[in-house]
Structure 1
């Protein structure tokens, strides 16, 4: 694989990525050092097809490809965020990638299915996480990983965030309980494989009495398909119906 001397200073980076010539992009999130927080390091990409929802600069897309994925689709819409496509395009050239960039949203996924679906940092920015999650599960043949503002609770609840309540960001809407994610997963034929959540106290006793602070918790949950199911809600229950996909 080649290196490049192209200028990276004029790009608004989100992901901090180490390039082949040793330089590091000036991203605000050092995902390379914290892959475990996304359960990304727990996935086997060899020979798999991958959908990366909300890919931004594409770190996870390009790393999945380098770890053996046979096909990667990177989905995002730069109109909904800052930074544009410059970072993704640069890394695509830099890594001589075959990943396919696709403009879309979690409500307008490609009408096909993928072995692995990555949904990092998306669900808490949208006002209909139920439809969004159903879409992700419909699009997944084997495994899906969600990461975001999730809090530990067996109750399937949502916590409404007022604009700028969390990190002064007006795009944050809901924090989701881990119980909520697991219940939707079960309705779609998935079981929980593993969870990565923050640890706040040194003892189980202190954790038991810790107040739930949904706006400050992050977690990643990995699910595996065990059945072919669709929630039996009526179409009238949705303001935006989930995407239906071919089963092949």
Structure 2
């Protein structure tokens, strides 16, 4: 019984060794084929002596655990398994050769090689997708810029209204030397940053909003010998201030209002 048990263990070891070595041999042959498919100088066709040499190289690593007879048996089984897996073909000089199946070789290709070959075979689709994606991104960016420009123009427009309204109230106060109008270019240079001044569309959008506002008059005026365009608040009362109290202005709006009041005071002082 003990000897039968020992023989069974040896048989199981031989089977496992055969399976592992067969898988390694097939893997190496398919790797060579995959490198050839990727243009990396691999080998596709293998003759009998090539496969036998590869099997000897693999089995030499386990020689210490197998007898000579065991190595011979395992090698025969490995070669039989490899022959059953590989495809048989002929070389240009009618010599029998073996190769990894095309499907298995393609699966052994590296991901980078697969991606490169997929792009090459679908170049029209890839180019079309890239062009459409670039066009879509450009459209989305243009929409975002227009919305950002409109939002910033509305913020500046509100500040201009606050400045003109506060300036008009100060001009009507008794013993005040403040003029009821404000030069347009002064407001532009004060409210716009240096970078924003380069964007001519921003102030143009602000001017469009000012022209649509019936509470504001815009007319030419000669100041110190130079022709200027001035803005003047014509509405009575402080309607915008009441609306802001009802709506609850945000922190930025409140800080903008304080800046507007200070600028109005500076204009009156000057």
TM-score, structure 1 normalization: 0.23
Structure 1 or 2, whichever has the larger Rg, is 2
Larger helix proportion of the pair:
2
TM-score, structure 2 normalization: 0.21
